[in-house]
């Protein structure tokens, strides 16, 4: 009997051992492990309330004396002030005009032990596709600014939040509108002065580079303006690579080939200044017998708009980073901009010429962007706002 009782107890112990080991795998998929590279957020009522961290890979140069000009330094200056007002930790990484380095920098950010909350990239020389992919693989939210995808690249990338879930949006200035405004400014000035030939206005154009969408679209804007002015002849389009020195040499040669040129269209301000210098070396008088316009609102260009040697500088789009940070701020704090869209293309341009240059320089000649309230751009800070206002004129109050 004792032996019978012993066998029953032993069998029970054996059964308990068999059933009390590691549970069998469930047929349901296991939930993904949290990404421990991100700092945990404090969440209240569904909105993240921690101080957000943003990295921006700036495609420009950190050298203010670089011949490509100070546009990207202006972008950084505005973003720093916007970040200060919105309480954002902003890291700016310069690629020094090297699109291969941009992609390497994106991989480095995506591979960090602690990720930022957001990465901002620019599709300079078509390099942003790989940058978006690197961020997406790492679970890092990425936003495309200033230059977007077009053509085959746009087909391959799709729309934000579709193929690449962590690519959450894009904000691109309407560069066609910017190119159009430059053309209108110099054509109107040439026509009004009477210095242009009676029969037609002859024009030269200097574009940026063949790959960047901003460059090609600005030329499209130029051609739209020309379609409205059959009396204007486009003699040739040169590639200036955004550089003042290159535009100066090209202009000297071009004015020898086209001595009756009345106006020069340039895709940015450094090339406009280079064209002005080249015209002077060719014994022309900018602002009197030849009319030149550019784009960026760069300080050296605005000085020349004020003295009349440049006819117009179109700009304001260097403030784009202020809007982008506001969009990301709202997204981070529970008010997703996707309610309005994920792909924004907005004018973000305005002309500065003899009519308004004094008013602008009187207010912003010191480039002190703290005079602008960037919190007005955020829907979280302005709960009554139903749509984002992308007007440069409204932002600067002129």
User: Do the domain assignments include residue 2?
Assistant: no
pTM of the model as a whole: 0.82
- Kindly tell me the burial class for residue 221, based on how many C-beta atoms sit within 10 Å of its own C-beta (0-12, 13-18, 19 or more): buried
Q: Are residues 342 and 249 in the same domain?
A: no
Q: Are residues 181 and 288 in the same domain?
A: yes
Split at pLDDT 50, 70, 90, the class of 197 is low
User: Do the domain assignments include residue 37?
Assistant: no
**What tens digit of pLDDT does each residue of 204-259 get?**
999 999 988 899 999 999 999 999 999 999 999 999 999 999 999 999 999 999 99
Cα 178 vs. chain centroid, distance in angstroms?
A: 14
Q: Report the first-to-last Cα separation within the chain, whole angstroms.
A: 104
Structure-block tokens of residue 28: 């349901």
Q: Are residues 290 and 325 in the same domain?
A: no
**What tens digit of pLDDT does each residue of 52-89 get?**
999 999 999 999 999 888 999 999 999 999 999 999 99
- Given a contact cutoff of 8 angstroms between Cβ atoms, the answer to whether 170 and 140 are in contact is no
Q: Are residues 50 and 169 in the same domain?
A: yes
- Given a contact cutoff of 8 angstroms between Cβ atoms, the answer to whether 108 and 93 are in contact is no
User: Do the domain assignments include residue 5?
Assistant: no
pLDDT at 39: 40
CATH code of residue 327 = 3.40.50.2300
Angle between helices 175-193 and 213-227 (to 10 degrees): 40
Q: Are residues 165 and 235 in the same domain?
A: no
Q: Are residues 90 and 113 in the same domain?
A: yes
**What tens digit of pLDDT does each residue of 107-153 get?**
999 999 999 999 999 999 999 999 999 999 999 999 999 999 999 99
Please determine, for residue 21, whether its predicted confidence score (pLDDT) is greater than 60.
no
User: Do the domain assignments include residue 311?
Assistant: no
pLDDT at 195: 57
Range of the domain at 167: 46-173+318-396
Question: 167-173 and 118-121: which strand pairing?
Answer: unpaired
Give start and end residues of each alpha helix (H) in the chain.
2-19, 71-86, 99-110, 128-138, 151-157, 175-193, 213-227, 244-257, 269-281, 299-307, 320-332, 357-364, 392-396
Please determine, for residue 40, whether its predicted confidence score (pLDDT) is greater than 80.
no
Please determine, for residue 16, whether its predicted confidence score (pLDDT) is greater than 80.
no
Q: Are residues 244 and 347 in the same domain?
A: no
Structure-block tokens of residue 4: 């019978």
Number of domains the chain contains:
2
User: CB-side exposure of 394: number of CA atoms within 13 Å?
Assistant: 10
pLDDT at 5: 40
Q: Are residues 264 and 197 in the same domain?
A: yes
Q: Are residues 164 and 188 in the same domain?
A: no
């Amino acid at each position: 009997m004792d032996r019978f009782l012993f066998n029953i107890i032993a069998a029970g112990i054996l059964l308990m051992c068999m059933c009390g080991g590691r549970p069998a795998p469930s047929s349901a998929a296991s939930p993904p492990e949290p990404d421990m590279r991100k700092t945990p957020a404090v969440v209240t009522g569904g909105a993240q309330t921690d101080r957000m961290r943003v990295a921006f890979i700036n495609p420009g140069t950190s050298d203010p004396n670089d011949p490509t000009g100070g546009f990207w330094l202006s972008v950084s200056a505005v973003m720093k002030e916007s970040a200060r007002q919105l309480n954002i930790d902003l890291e700016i990484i310069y690629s020094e005009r090297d699109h291969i380095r941009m992609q390497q920098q994106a991989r480095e950010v995506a591979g960090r032990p602690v990720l930022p909350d957001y990465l901002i990239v620019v599709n300079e020389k078509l390099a942003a596709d790989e940058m978006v992919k690197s961020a997406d693989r790492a679970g890092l939210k990425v936003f495309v600014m200033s230059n977007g995808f077009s053509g085959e690249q746009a087909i391959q990338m799709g729309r934000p939040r579709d193929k690449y879930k962590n690519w959450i949006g894009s904000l691109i200035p309407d560069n066609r509108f910017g190119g159009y405004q430059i053309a209108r400014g110099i054509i109107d000035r040439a026509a009004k002065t009477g210095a242009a030939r009676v029969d037609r206005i002859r024009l030269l154009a200097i574009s940026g580079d063949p790959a960047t969408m901003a460059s090609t679209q600005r030329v499209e804007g130029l051609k739209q303006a020309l379609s409205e002015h059959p009396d204007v002849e486009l003699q040739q389009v040169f590639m200036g690579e955004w550089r003042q020195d290159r535009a100066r040499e090209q202009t000297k040669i071009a004015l020898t080939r086209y001595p009756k040129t009345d106006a020069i269209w340039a895709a940015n301000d450094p090339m406009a200044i280079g064209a002005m210098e080249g015209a002077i070396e060719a014994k022309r008088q900018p602002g009197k017998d030849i009319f030149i316009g550019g784009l960026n609102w760069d300080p050296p260009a605005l000085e020349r708009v004020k003295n009349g040697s440049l006819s117009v500088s179109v700009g304001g789009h260097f403030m784009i980073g202020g809007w982008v940070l506001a969009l990301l701020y709202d997204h981070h704090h529970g008010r997703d901009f996707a309610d309005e869209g994920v792909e924004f293309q907005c004018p973000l341009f305005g002309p500065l010429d003899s009519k308004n240059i004094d008013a602008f320089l009187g207010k912003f000649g010191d480039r002190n962007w703290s005079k602008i309230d960037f919190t007005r751009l955020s829907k979280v800070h302005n709960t009554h706002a139903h749509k984002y206002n992308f007007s440069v004129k409204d932002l600067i109050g002129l």
